Structure 1
Amino acid sequence: MSSTQAPEVKPKEGFSSRKVFIFAAIGSAVGLGNIWRFPYVAYEGGGGAFIIPYLCALLFAGIPLLYLDYAVGHRFRGSAPLSLRRLHRGAEWLGWWQVLICVVIAIYYAAILAWAAKYTVLSFTKGWGDDPNAYFFGDYLQAAATPGPTFDFVPGILMTMILVWVVTIGVLAMGVQTGIGRTAVVFIPVLVLAFIVLVIQALTLDGSMEGLNALFTPDWGALTHGSVWISAVGQIFFSLSVGFGIMITYASYVDRKTDMTGSGAVVGFSNSGFELLAGIGVFAALGFMAQAAGTEVSEVVTNGIGLAFVAFPTIINEAPGGVVIGVLFFVSLLLAGVTSLISIVEVVIGAVRDKVGISRTAATFVVGVPMGVVSVLMFSTTGGIYVLDTMDAFVNSFGIIAVAAVMMLAITYVFRKLGVLQRHLDARSSIKLRGWWPALVAVVVPLLLIAMLWQELKTKIDTPYEEYPADLLGVFGWGMVVALPILAIGLSLIPWRGTVSLEDPTTAEVDGGEQA
């Protein structure tokens, strides 16, 4: 596109205020991982002692990377591919890599939301029966005996997944402010209120203090293990929604004069505050479960799907006031998941709109309907849980971590734009980045992420993930990991058909005409 064309300085739509942006960013950050992953990771990482590596990871890895995403999106005013294309012609493929990661995450994340929606209804009557484990894997998922994809559909999951996608597409079609913004402004306070009530209820259960002692009693020896520090970085990294296009996209919808670093600090600490709240509520409930079963807390601690759909229903069955706890827990899970899914799909919609030049409504249906169809076909089957588990394990490690590390190194050493981004944020923000931020983004965080990648690579090569069949791991694990960056390069070679300028829209304003 000709450089003489007037650059698009401000998106046609955006968040109406800084407050709405913060709520939307918190809505993206606060998701399923806060509720079912953080308590387990903290417990395994030394309990109370884990707070030290966790806060270090937040301050020295999570927030710096969050600021990088904000800087790219806020300065270059576009989706992940457009913002990175405006940063440098050779950076566009990194944006498409992030978009494709979001496609993968969205199609399986919707399945977990469908489960949460079903369990929200079941929680009113404890409809999972006396054996939540048998109900979830048997009666509900009807999980195949052999891990792998199947074409045997489960009607109960099918209908709920269709509903999840209809709601998601409907919210996104309404636009950034009306759909995403208003949903976040309503859902996030309701989510926090529901979880506070859940925590209070959980703290009244017999055995709750034993659960909290298990979570917060410090194991100082754990701090000598490098794996604990790496897991803290991983938890912060995933829970903040950094590194895969969401915060770049959201930052592009914010007014030019917004204090981005101050906003980032609010988002980062709000996310961590919710994680701590989740840890208290979950372990108070697990303490009750351990006492009721006559075992140690260590015997009932679980993570992910096992916590949400097996352990908590077991607690609800046995606890006084269990129906209240169940409704609050699954409503919280559902609200947290919905706001996160909306943000993930928005990354893809924004990229398609910019590249092709179509309206929001058209882009929403062009993106949402095919993704919904693929999601329903893949994860409404008896083999869906195995495919989901494989894709989640591989795309998080070798997708999100890898693209974030490559992006930081490329922006710093290949495209040499780190100084431009720092000046952009410093010009309009309350927290000045000066020399500490470039040092972290250029050296410290990439080294941490490379160490994480190396550790994950060794683990998955030495021991096949969950001992799943080689063809399942080859297609939906390693095959997907290799395919995403290759497809991203291909998408970057497609000519831009929209009306947006590919020039840096803020060069003249911010740098006084200095070429970025």
Structure 2
Amino acid sequence: MEKRQQWDSRMIFIFAAIGSAAGLGNAWRFPYMAASNGGGAFLIPYFIALITAGIPLLILEFGIGHKFQAGAPTAFSKVKKGWEGLGWWSIGVSFVIVTYYAVIMAWVFDYLWYSLSLAWGDAPADFFLNNVLKLSEGPGHLGGFSIPVLIGLILAWLAVYWTIRDGVKSVGKVVKWTVPLPIIMLGILVIRGLTLPGAIDGINYYLNPDFSKLLDPKVWASAYGQVFFSLSVAFGVMIAYASYLPKKSDITNNAFITAFANCGISFMAGFAVFGTMGYMAAEKGASVAEVAGTGGIGLAFWVYPEAIRLLPFGSVVFALVFYIMLLTLGIDSFFSLVEGVVAGVSDKWGFGKKKTTIGVILVGFVISLIYATKGGLHWLDIVDRYVNNYGIIGVALFETIAIGWIYKSRKLREYVNPISEVHLGGWYDVLIKFIAPLALAGILVWNIVQEIIDVTQGNAYGGYPVWAIAVGGWLVAIVLIVGSIILGKSKSSYVMEEASEEVE
């Protein structure tokens, strides 16, 4: 078995963790989440969710990764015999996300090229859906590959291989650039956006507080959901990254730095997005709400390109800045998810890291081809919704149960405190044993209830046929759980150096 690699410095680890946490959702999900859930008032439940659940879970994952010096499956097998499957569940969720995240990165690569000529012209939405994706009429019609997407997909996977080919050594060299660069790009976009006519209207739309929203349970559920989705917890990534830390590395302070840096990037992105949306509204003589869209893919590939087209000068430059920002934000999350899978597989069977990396990338590439077809966007939408709403939340819930109740959060505190600047007290036990699992269970129940209501009313998600929801949503979820149980019970090909640590 290879000697475990280590990060070159604490700074590189923090950069890698921030890079994993801060992804595309920071730019296209958080600003819209805030704007539609009370504006500035949304920051209250958001920061409460961050302190009571997000950071405690991040500390949990940093702690067990560092203590057991292993990826998620092996780490949980050492937490308690029989719990290895939880680690494989998180790895499975990561791998599914990797397969479609690759295609989103492919679109970004394509748009770097299109930015040189502003190829989307006067109809960005039509260009993206019909010229780039050549979108079919539904998930039942794959219709062959979109060549631009296929080319971008190959570039995306090659970029990931080049980044993680030598493990944390090559990752460390890359994150020195890919973490600060999107922040610089965001800064440029913020300054440009705020200096445009109408920008203040956009910022008001983003942050104008509506405190009445704080009485809506859905707003609180959205805040907790956003925190869980944006910190890269429950993916196995942070466990793997922490396992490469030297023996006496800080845990808690690293978690606080990672979490607050991630939040800062999200908050900053809102000014870049809505400052520009305010200008776009002024140019079109419309309200911000009418031009802003709903975030997500639409923001990145037709709303913002439309705003860039309307700029009085420098459109090509700002198009390149925007897509370089998206590329550098997204690529860190992309390769961190792959690294989490590689760490889990390598630890379990003792395979060499380079061979494991090549194997995971090849399998991921083959599966990702379905999303490069003309029907790919439909499948991406379905799989993304169900993996996020049920997979991530389910893993996080069981993590809090495993550490809070079975392993005992007290034992984690006793391990973390001697090596950390910020010491955990009994309050941490309350958060991990009660607050975080209750919040996660509440979100999970809420999602299930809403799903049942929608199905009984004939409102299947996205208007997709029931069979597509069953295959891309529920079948994927079931395969992940069953596969995780099977892998958790399978034997390693080598004898573990340390026995599993049992509950006292």
Matched AA of 1:103:
F
In structure 2, what is the equivalent of residue 93 of structure 1? 85
User: Matched residue of 1:427: which SS?
Assistant: helix
In structure 1, what is the equivalent of residue 160 of structure 2? 168
Matches within 5 A, 1:112-191: 112-148=104-140, 150-177=142-169, 179-191=170-182
Q: Give, in whole Å, the separation in 2 of the partners of 1:418 and 1:126.
A: 54
- Alignment match of 2:489 (pick from 489, 493, 507): 493
Question: In the alignment, is the contact (CA less than 8 A) between 2:57 and 2:432 conserved in 1?
Answer: yes
Question: In the alignment, is the contact (CA less than 8 A) between 2:98 and 2:338 conserved in 1?
Answer: yes
Are 1:254 and 2:245 matched, yes or no? yes
Q: Give, in whole Å, the separation in 2 of the partners of 1:148 and 1:232.
A: 34
Q: Give, in whole Å, the separation in 2 of the partners of 1:418 and 1:322.
A: 53
Are 1:429 and 2:420 matched, yes or no? yes
Give the TM-score of the pair, scaled to structure 1: 0.94
Residues 1:180 and 1:295: Cα distance change in structure 2 (over 3 Å): same
Q: Give, in whole Å, the separation in 2 of the partners of 1:442 and 1:118.
A: 45
Question: In the alignment, is the contact (CA less than 8 A) between 1:85 and 1:502 conserved in 2?
Answer: no
RMSD across aligned C-alpha pairs, in angstroms?
1.5
Q: Deviations over 1:424-476 (max 9, x none)?
A: 11121111111111101110011111111111112222221111011110011
- Alignment match of 1:75 (pick from 67, 70, 74): 67
Are 1:358 and 2:354 matched, yes or no? no
Q: Percent identity?
A: 39
In structure 1, what is the equivalent of residue 376 of structure 2? 384
Displacement of 1:149 after TM fit? 5.4
Give the TM-score of the pair, scaled to structure 2: 0.96
In structure 1, what is the equivalent of residue 499 of structure 2? 503
User: Matched residue of 1:382: which SS?
Assistant: coil
In structure 2, what is the equivalent of residue 221 of structure 1? 212
Q: Give, in whole Å, the separation in 2 of the partners of 1:500 and 1:118.
A: 45
Unaligned runs of 5+ in 1: 1-7, 508-513
User: Matched residue of 2:82: which SS?
Assistant: helix
Are 1:232 and 2:226 matched, yes or no? no
Displacement of 1:11 after TM fit? 5.3
Displacement of 1:151 after TM fit? 4.6
Matches within 5 A, 1:262-281: 262-281=253-272
Q: Deviations over 1:259-318 (max 9, x none)?
A: 110111110110000011101110001111111111111112221011110100100111
Matches within 5 A, 1:16-55: 16-55=8-47
Matched AA of 1:183:
V
Matches within 5 A, 1:262-341: 262-301=253-292, 302-320=294-312, 321-341=314-334
Q: Deviations over 1:342-380 (max 9, x none)?
A: 1000111111111111111111111111111211x2111
In structure 2, what is the equivalent of residue 479 of structure 1? 475
In structure 2, what is the equivalent of residue 510 of structure 1? none
Displacement of 1:515 after TM fit? 7.6
Q: Give, in whole Å, the separation in 2 of the partners of 1:89 and 1:149.
A: 45
In structure 2, what is the equivalent of residue 56 of structure 1? 48
Q: Give, in whole Å, the separation in 1 of the partners of 2:180 and 2:79.
A: 36
- Alignment match of 2:461 (pick from 455, 461, 465): 465
Displacement of 1:146 after TM fit? 2.4
Q: Give, in whole Å, the separation in 2 of the partners of 1:498 and 1:36.
A: 44
**Divergent runs of 4+, >3 A:** none
- Alignment match of 1:368 (pick from 340, 346, 361): 361
The farther-off stretch of 117-126 and 492-501 is 492-501
Q: Give, in whole Å, the separation in 2 of the partners of 1:498 and 1:355.
A: 8
Q: Give, in whole Å, the separation in 1 of the partners of 2:155 and 2:219.
A: 39
Q: What count of residue pairs does the alignment treat as equivalent? A: 497
Residues 1:404 and 1:349: Cα distance change in structure 2 (over 3 Å): same
The farther-off stretch of 25-34 and 359-368 is 359-368
Displacement of 1:228 after TM fit? 0.6
Question: In the alignment, is the contact (CA less than 8 A) between 1:315 and 1:322 conserved in 2?
Answer: no
User: Matched residue of 2:419: which SS?
Assistant: coil
Q: Give, in whole Å, the separation in 2 of the partners of 1:233 and 1:385.
A: 27
Displacement of 1:477 after TM fit? 0.4
Question: In the alignment, is the contact (CA less than 8 A) between 1:43 and 1:214 conserved in 2?
Answer: yes
Matched AA of 1:347:
G
In structure 2, what is the equivalent of residue 4 of structure 1? none
Residues 1:276 and 1:11: Cα distance change in structure 2 (over 3 Å): farther
Matched AA of 1:173:
R
User: Matched residue of 1:416: which SS?
Assistant: helix
Matched AA of 2:403:
I
Q: Give, in whole Å, the separation in 1 of the partners of 2:301 and 2:126.
A: 11
Q: Give, in whole Å, the separation in 2 of the partners of 1:494 and 1:515.
A: 22
Question: In the alignment, is the contact (CA less than 8 A) between 2:253 and 2:421 conserved in 1?
Answer: yes
Question: In the alignment, is the contact (CA less than 8 A) between 1:63 and 1:268 conserved in 2?
Answer: yes
Question: In the alignment, is the contact (CA less than 8 A) between 2:189 and 2:272 conserved in 1?
Answer: yes
Q: Give, in whole Å, the separation in 2 of the partners of 1:122 and 1:147.
A: 27
In structure 2, what is the equivalent of residue 3 of structure 1? none
Q: Give, in whole Å, the separation in 1 of the partners of 2:492 and 2:138.
A: 45
Q: Deviations over 1:106-161 (max 9, x none)?
A: 00000000001111221121111110011111111011012335151111111110
Question: In the alignment, is the contact (CA less than 8 A) between 1:46 and 1:218 conserved in 2?
Answer: yes
Q: Give, in whole Å, the separation in 1 of the partners of 2:319 and 2:68.
A: 44
User: Matched residue of 1:127: which SS?
Assistant: coil
Question: In the alignment, is the contact (CA less than 8 A) between 1:148 and 1:387 conserved in 2?
Answer: no
Residues 1:176 and 1:141: Cα distance change in structure 2 (over 3 Å): same
Matched AA of 1:409:
I
Q: Give, in whole Å, the separation in 2 of the partners of 1:397 and 1:498.
A: 36
Question: In the alignment, is the contact (CA less than 8 A) between 1:35 and 1:278 conserved in 2?
Answer: yes
